[in-house]
Structure 1
Amino acid sequence: MKHRNHRRAAAAALMAASVISIASCGPAATDSGATNTRSASPSPTKPKDAFDGLTGPQISAKAKTALKDATSLRVTGDAPDGRGGTISIDMAMDTKGSCRGTIVQQHAGTIEMIKHRSTVFMKGDEKFWRASLAAGKKKPTARQADAFVEIVKGRWMKVDKKTARAMTRKDMCDLGTLADKLGDDSATDTTTTRGADVTRAGQALAVIYDRDGNEVTTIHVAKTGKPYPVEITHTGGTEPGSLKLTDFDKPVDTTPPPADQVIDTNKLRR
């Protein structure tokens, strides 16, 4: 199958990187029927199906195009971390490489991040920092680790320029990278099919299934407004996971933390 499982790869790549709902399910638009002059009761008409007559691959292509045209969004979801645990993400990101959010790793703690292009602030809990120190090339002594954790506890750290540049080169938090990873379905892709439409919180959604053996990727696509993919779920394989996409085209708040909450990195070099 051409370009199979790109959606699963997108979810896994974003969450496994660890250094990273449609615009909020509003009421679906409806049309009012014209009033019959012979009756006081209005005659409602059914809203036109935006995807009427379209196949699964055709709807998938529209969703991908809409996603590539979005300037920003918020990603929330969870997936296995490869070590028997889970990793959860709640991250707003845009096409300029900025993002803000939280990553929770079952085996490696929690980290909050604010990234405005090449400027990066990070705040981890004790579990995160101890796991990071243990994974480093130069292992600190127990005393050194305790001292480090005491300094950074509850504080933000401004990442040094070298590390920030490396993070930027990896396209971390880049919406364009996410859109590219969502796959390239063609109208002849017989593994992608359309299921029955659903309505959630008043929003009409088309449902698409992409099958690969016993593995299924399910995509919910908005039928009103822009055809954004609002949820991507992978089941049936060794890497189950689910992502919800919301807050499309809303500015990402990259306001830096207050100066008195930012650790002086010079203290860490003493």
Structure 2
Amino acid sequence: MAANRKLLAAAAACAAAVIGVTGCGGDSGDKDPFEGMSADKIAKKASNASKNAGSFTMKSEVKEDGDQTTAAFSIAKGGDCKATVDSGKTGHSELLYVNKASYVKADEKFWKASAGATIAGRVKGRWVKSPSSREGGACNLDNMFKSDKLKGLKRVDDADVDGKTAAVLIKKKGKETTTFYVAMDGKPYFLKVTNNGDEKGTATFSDYGKPVDVKAPAADEVVDQKELAGL
């Protein structure tokens, strides 16, 4: 169903607009754990560590053309995930990705905008199920922590992120500046990413490696997209 693809795209875009890619840095003690490393190498190390953690939580906020979109992702080891997306334009949406199937539940505003009034009335309060591929999905770690675009960075003064010391890496492209904060204590995970340009946004990362419980909704709460195809 087009609505499912739109939600995935919106959720992924909310993350991608802030991230572009993602990262965080680390080690313990007073010594700089990244001493002698270029900013690009620090970013690559952070990308690998964040991806290999297997699970994490991300919260993001993006402002564009007068609209604000917030999203919260919890991604489990293995790729299953749950997310919520709130937008002034498209309303409130929830996403579950479990066992290669995606489930979307949203308010009337979302369904009317993406699928029309008839569908909105039919699916009210229910999850719409559709098959989904991990490739290109909003919860795909391979896509979220890509390192091929983490190039041309410059390291600036370290900063504090919620009480944690972070190496700060910036990337400038035209009028746009993206800033990556990499943990310097412990493993080099990305802690925060900000974007300042036509799209302004912030993404924060936490709970790396912690278990995330994602379950498919009960059968009586689900409608298959195939049932809606003829409407």
**Given the two structures, how large is their TM-score scaled by the length of structure 1?**
0.66
Relative to structure 1, the CA distance from residue 231 to residue 182 in structure 2 (aligned partners, 3 Å threshold; closer, same or farther) is farther
In 2: Cα distance, 1:58 partner to 1:258 partner: 45
Question: Letter of the aligned partner of 1:251 in structure 2?
Answer: P
* Aligned mate of 2:139, from 160, 173, 184: 173
- Asked if the contact 1:100/1:252 (under 8 Å) is kept, the reply is no
Residues 199-208 or 259-268, more deviating = 259-268
Matched with 2:93 is 111
* Aligned residues with identical type, % of pairs: 31
* Aligned mate of 1:241, from 187, 201, 214: 201
Residues 89-98 or 122-131, more deviating = 89-98
* Aligned mate of 2:124, from 153, 157, 164: 153
Question: Letter of the aligned partner of 1:130 in structure 2?
Answer: K
Matched with 1:128 is 110
Relative to structure 1, the CA distance from residue 112 to residue 210 in structure 2 (aligned partners, 3 Å threshold; closer, same or farther) is same
- Asked if the contact 1:113/1:123 (under 8 Å) is kept, the reply is yes
Question: Letter of the aligned partner of 1:153 in structure 2?
Answer: K
1:14 paired to 2:9: no
Give unmatched runs, 5+ long, in structure 2: 1-9, 17-26
Question: Letter of the aligned partner of 1:197 in structure 2?
Answer: D
- Asked if the contact 1:75/1:244 (under 8 Å) is kept, the reply is yes
Give unmatched runs, 5+ long, in structure 1: 1-11, 19-27, 31-46, 135-141
1:257 paired to 2:228: no
What's the CA shift for 1:97? Answer: 3.4
Matched with 1:8 is none
**Given the two structures, how large is their TM-score scaled by the length of structure 2?**
0.76
Relative to structure 1, the CA distance from residue 265 to residue 50 in structure 2 (aligned partners, 3 Å threshold; closer, same or farther) is closer
- Asked if the contact 1:15/1:79 (under 8 Å) is kept, the reply is no
In 2: Cα distance, 1:56 partner to 1:17 partner: 22
In 2: Cα distance, 1:172 partner to 1:264 partner: 20
Q: CA RMSD in A?
A: 3.1
What's the CA shift for 1:265? Answer: 6.5
1:58 paired to 2:41: yes
Flag the structure with larger Rg: 1
